[in-house]
């Protein structure tokens, strides 16, 4: 199966900052929902990135992706939900044995049916965690070693896919996408000593479930980026 078309692979050499993005999302039923990039963010820095805060003044991201001016001087902070003050998060980490939090924030995750649901994305030096902020339940833990690549468009949207060949993939949206990409690339290299592929393409596929493949199409339109999600 050809999962990626007209793709461009790059490698991250330095830490980058994050482009905010927005766009319309059309699902396979042709219904439309606007991604709201102003969803709640809370908490202060407690556990930071291993390399500290950095800022970015280069456009575009990694030489390919279109960025907005507002994103060019954004600092990386790492923990945006104040993990140490959240007992349910600390309990999950303690149970799994992870101690170093590299990134934590609320994101929008797409379900297999195409719905968007707010989740906490937490990245440690060993794994990716998806946590329900309402119930405090751990929905998924993915070892960094299981991640093969990340897929993004070349446009100024908020979306990204995490490709996990041995499981089903993740498709999410965040205004801090560049920070997430950078953290995952650096953490994967540290944990597994290999370079995580970052693929830029305005059309790519991901496995929404073990038996569901979807294609994401990005198109630049007047006033923003139109995103379509089609079931294969």
Supply the pTM of this predicted model.
0.73
Top mean-pLDDT range of 44-53, 123-132, 192-201: 123-132
- 9-23, 57-71, 92-106, 170-184: least confident range: 9-23
- Give percent of the chain above pLDDT 90: 61
Whether the per-residue pLDDT at 27 is higher than 60: the answer is: no
* CA gap 206, 220 in Å, rounded: 21
Using 50, 70 and 90 to split pLDDT, how confident is the model at 232?
Answer: confident
Domain edges within the chain: 8-231
The mean pLDDT value for 192-203 works out to: 91
> Quick one: tokens of 155?
């446009």
At the topology level, CATH places domain 8-231 in PH-domain like (2.30.29)
Q: With beta carbons less than 8 A apart as the criterion, state whether 124 and 145 touch.
A: no
Using 50, 70 and 90 to split pLDDT, how confident is the model at 190?
Answer: confident
Using 50, 70 and 90 to split pLDDT, how confident is the model at 104?
Answer: very high
> Quick one: tokens of 159?
């979306």
Closest by CA position to 22, among listed 7, 33, 11:
33
Peptide bond into 60 cis (omega under 30): yes
Using 50, 70 and 90 to split pLDDT, how confident is the model at 65?
Answer: low
- 60-64, 92-96, 147-151, 161-165: least confident range: 60-64
């Amino acid at each position: 199966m050809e999962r990626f078309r007209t793709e461009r692979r790059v490698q991250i050499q330095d830490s980058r900052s994050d482009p905010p993005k927005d766009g319309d999302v059309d699902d396979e039923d042709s219904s439309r929902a606007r991604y709201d990039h102003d969803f709640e963010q809370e908490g202060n820095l407690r556990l930071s990135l291993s390399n500290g805060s950095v800022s970015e003044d280069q456009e575009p991201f990694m030489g390919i992706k279109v960025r907005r001016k507002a994103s060019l001087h954004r600092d990386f902070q790492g923990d945006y939900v104040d993990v140490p003050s959240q007992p349910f998060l600390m309990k999950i980490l303690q149970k799994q044995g992870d101690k170093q939090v590299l990134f934590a924030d609320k994101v929008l995750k797409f379900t297999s049916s195409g719905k968007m649901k707010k989740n906490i994305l937490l990245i440690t030096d060993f794994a990716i965690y998806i946590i329900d902020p309402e119930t405090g339940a751990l929905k998924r833990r993915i070892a960094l070693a299981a991640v093969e690549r990340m897929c993004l468009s070349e446009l100024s949207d908020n979306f990204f896919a995490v490709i996990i060949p041995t499981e089903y993939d993740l498709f999410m949206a965040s205004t801090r996408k560049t920070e997430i990409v950078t953290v995952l690339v650096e953490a994967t290299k540290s944990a597994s000593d290999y370079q995580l592929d970052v693929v830029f393409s305005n059309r790519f596929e991901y496995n929404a479930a073990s038996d569901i493949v979807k294609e994401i199409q990005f198109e630049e339109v007047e006033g923003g980026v139109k995103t379509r999600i089609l079931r294969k």
